[in-house]
Structure 1
Amino acid sequence: MELLPREELQKIQLNRLKKILVRAYHNLPYYRKKLDEAGVDVYRLKTLEDLKHLPFTTKSDLRKSYPFGAIAEPMHNIVRIHSSSGTTGTATVVGYTRKDIETWAELMARTLCGCGVTEEDIIQVAFGYGLFTGGLGVHYGAEKLGATVVPASAGNTLRQIQILKDFNISVLCCTPSYALYLAEVARENHIDWSQTRFRLGIFGAEPWSEEMRAEIQKKLPIQAFDIYGLSEVIGPGVAFECEEHQGLHISEDHFLPEIIDPETGETLPEGTEGELVFTTLTKEGTPVIRYRTGDISALYYEPCRCGRTLVRMKRVASRTDDMLIVRGVNVYPSQIESVLLSFDGVEPHYQIVLTRENYLDKMEIHVEVSPEVFSDEVKKLEQLRNAIQEKLKAELNLSSEVKLLEPKSLQRTEGKARRVLDLRKKEGSK
């Protein structure tokens, strides 16, 4: 499947799309309503081009279906339930049939293999286990591949480091921000990585930049790979980097991708950045049609140097809902991260704090620096701070105030890093 000529792959996609469309129409009332309102005859889909005439699905649609309204099978056919955290609203709930679980394991085995994992590896899974899809998704895929799995789950960093050493771990799977925290704790405890088998890091669940990849690879003896997935589609296993690091290969035999203009909904051409949209082609429990992910990416159809013909997506550095509007200027945290990490001595631990004074937005960037830099004379710190502020202004076309902090000033997290603290609403108009 990973090497098929595009014409053959498209035949498979069209056949599966026709089936999933009929399935959704007959088994999910909200899809029947959407498709009827759009004037779509699910039996008259002729080509993949017809996809653009189908209605979108949003997170709001799934939330309105809480808890089981998005499940297209009788509950006795559902063997697993996962859901989002619900921290930003009602949780989205997805159901998996036995076949879905088998498909997911196969996709994650493909993902891990694409990143260089073999059956000889011992994998430490430091994603959370439970309703979050990350831990169990990677776990089942690693077992399918034949690797040895250590289900460490998230948290207890000193214990994680001990396991890395004592269990001869060669592959770590977690969020990239947690990998950096683990590296920091390991350095404080004088861990000698040369005495371990540690060689690969497979990271996902949050956007991260090329600069952060460089930081991780500098602080840990690994090659870092990006993987992509989301619970509404299946979980991790939707796309993965190969050794070329030229975008993430999407498993197109199971997920049909599009890039759209987030404002107009129009489909955008190859290579153009926009919002990533997925239609599941094989999911039984919770099929989704044209699901708007909110992730900003682009698609590239030219075959990769690795030999795979699967379309590649640009790694996700931002989301439509991550975009900050500060004094009328659109700002993405990924832009700020790239600037910060371009300076020597600046640590990859930062927070963007938004406040409002006298009806005007104010943006402060709190960032840690290395112990050596922080112990420098005040004049050198001031020069560094000014240089960062000037580069940020040139990049963002917006003034901001940078505060350099001593190491470990910002709170660490075992899951997704909280990069933005927006206090404007709490402070009202003033």
Structure 2
Amino acid sequence: MPDDRPPPPPVRAPRFGVNYTPARGWFHHWLDFDLDDVRADLDSVAALGLDHVRVFPLWPVFQPNRTLIRPRAVDQLVALADAAAERGLDVAVDGLQGHLSSFDFLPAWTGTWHRRNIFHDPDVVAAQEEYLTTLAAALADRPNFLGMTIGNEINQFADAPHPDPDRVDPAGAARWLERMLAACDKGAPGGFHVHAEYDAAWYQDGHPFTPAQAARLGAATVVHSWVFNGTAQRHGAAGTATEHHAAYLIELSKAWASDPHRPVWLQEVGAPAPLVPPDRAARFTEATVTNALDCADVWGVTWWCSHDVSRELADFPELEYGLGLLTNDGRIKPAGAALARMAALWRGREHRPAPRRTALAVDVGGAEAAPDRSVCGPGGAFFEAWAALTARGVRPAVVLADLAHDPGHLWARGITEVLRVDDVTGAA
């Protein structure tokens, strides 16, 4: 058979960055924005040898009324981007914040007496479009602006376990994502505009945000890898499934991608204590990055997060306080030193992992809606089989059961062998 697979994209070094959590005031810093504090934080990020930051405007601060997008807040965001540029850092901006570290930040005009569904109320959706377009347009001429993420894990508003979900069906979620991405592109045409979901999109049966949407809409597929989802509880901090969880999500996402070389951005990953004890954080960081970069087409790794949350701030889940690569006073922690070493190791180095010739077929009851996707989550038959194969030294790709006998699909992805879950569990 002639090798008519789509040509791979140009080979380049993977990007290394961090989700920027201000050392003073956390994301509440937008309420009393101090550019000198921001500059100091970014100095400490740049000292790690990283090349980009992901930043988080708080939606209620930037758009406190449906028809008011505060010009001063937008100017402060641009000032932050310019400060990053001075330090050699590119900037990716999230828009609809949305949800951060267990706290919801929704503007008053969507709740209580003004309760409206954020995914399909026409006035709310129009205001969201205007807001995303405004932020993107304000940054469009900055050469260090990468693009917009619609919002941080905004899918958590759409379904349980959220205590007051904004219900939407999969078709409605797809329409909303397409409109928001178009709004970003209107403001900054051709930007690296994406959307980001937490792992319910991959693991939760019936969740309205689907793997197909994640892997086909936007400039790249975004994955957020958190091992407190049951992975570390089942497999331990040093378990194969734990240290390969990010790689697993990357490979899982590729099963749904229409483009065999679609870029995948590991946009959030961190070492949550005590499931990953502080004395193992550096090892976990190195293993996670190494294993993720053993997958093809990885755009980059953006660690969560830059600075610890100050103990002066109340009511965060305990694990959130210590996720920083740096302390509040800018001292580098072991995980920070580990990520700095990995960034230095990969700087200027081509990312060209060997092909994954063996694939494990996943049956989720149909590719589009994925009604049985819980098999992909920790404890699910597919998840555990993939981890078992990996522990045996296999480097498994993932292929949808619907496509497991499609020679064109397998050829395009370089897959020469397809295994089923029963092939793995029967040999255990």
Provide TM-score, normalisation by structure 1.
Answer: 0.29
Larger relative contact order (CA 8 Å, sep ≥ 6): 2
Larger proportion of helix? 2
Larger proportion of strand? 1
Provide TM-score, normalisation by structure 2.
Answer: 0.29
